[in-house]
Amino acid sequence: MKHPPYHLRLNKAVDRFALIEAIKRLEKLDGDLSAYTYYGLGGPYLEDFRMLYEFYPDIKMVSIEEDKETYKRQKFHLPCGTIRLQNTRLKSFLSQYEANDEKSIFWLDYTGLEYGHFEDFMVLLGKVAAFSMIKITLRADPTDYIDRGSEDRKAEEFRKKFVTVMPDPTADPPALSDDFAYLVQEMLQTAAQKALPGAMPLMFQPVSSFNYSDGTGILTLTGIVCPRVEKATVKRVFQRWRFANLNWAKPKKINVPVLSTKERLHLQEKLPCLVSPGRTLRQALGYLIDDDKATTEAKLKQYADFHRHFPYFLRGIP
């Protein structure tokens, strides 16, 4: 099976670091992280597992992988001996999963957008223990459903496919990437409310959401399954996090620029920068890094926002 080099993509790397920060706040909410088990779709390099072990070695970890050859690569790339690898389909795993009051952190890291992904999300919401965290990542690319000359047919296909989770089943999918990502988030909100309706004691409280390009448009949402009576507590723990999204607002954009190590070191003394960060960093560089001043400042504002989550990729000679 071919896999994109997710471990080398800047926006994806920022998204991983954001999960690490969310888990840090989960510790403030529920105390002992050693009581949690992380379940993920780690791919051949198990990058999220490597990072999780580096920051939170006490969290137990389980990787779920369907493809046999990718499973073999995972065994080769194991970053530690505490990860349990399972060669099975995700749906099979979820059908057999029982929380037994043990708290979990799940990352449903999909590369597509299928109705079955919403079904997986809803099944999981109904199974995890209180104060478990679920992160779900979905493809959110409007070009999949907008084709010049056949817009009506593509829109009808989209409505037919996702009718039960669309907030407005008669609406066309939007053409702009940010708007389409927001629609996918609204669909996840609908799915969460169907899985955990108001009469149930548990609810899904969002804590962050992002959209970015990873070779294609991506929407990623993280939330906590908590007792409804604890909703205010969860919000209080996450409300001071600058990336928090606690009320299903539009996802925050990740679109970090490619900068050299020398440029990053030059900008470091200007950070953190809260007032006109894009302009401040552009002036510090003294030149444009994109087509025009506005685009350059937008990219540098992204760097100011996410510089602490920005990875270094260095060339090495084995």
Divide the 318 residues of the chain into consecutive groups of 10 and give the mean pLDDT of each group: 55 94 90 93 94 95 97 95 95 96 96 97 97 98 79 86 96 94 98 97 98 94 97 96 97 94 94 92 96 95 90 68
- Residue 309 confidence (pLDDT): 85
- Residue 152 confidence (pLDDT): 75
The residues, any chain, with a CB within 8 Å of residue 84's CB and separated by 6 or more, are: 60, 61, 62, 63
Tokens of 108: 């449903």
Residue-wise pLDDT tens digits, 20-44:
999 999 988 877 899 999 999 999 9
Residue-wise pLDDT tens digits, 214-224:
889 999 999 99
| Cα–Cα dist 140/156, whole Å | 17
| Cα–Cα dist 223/168, whole Å | 23
Domains and CATH numbers, the chain: 6-254 (3.40.50.150), 261-309 (no CATH)
The model's pTM: 0.92
Judge if the upstream peptide bond of residue 167 is cis by omega within 30 degrees of 0.
Answer: no
- Residue 3 confidence (pLDDT): 45
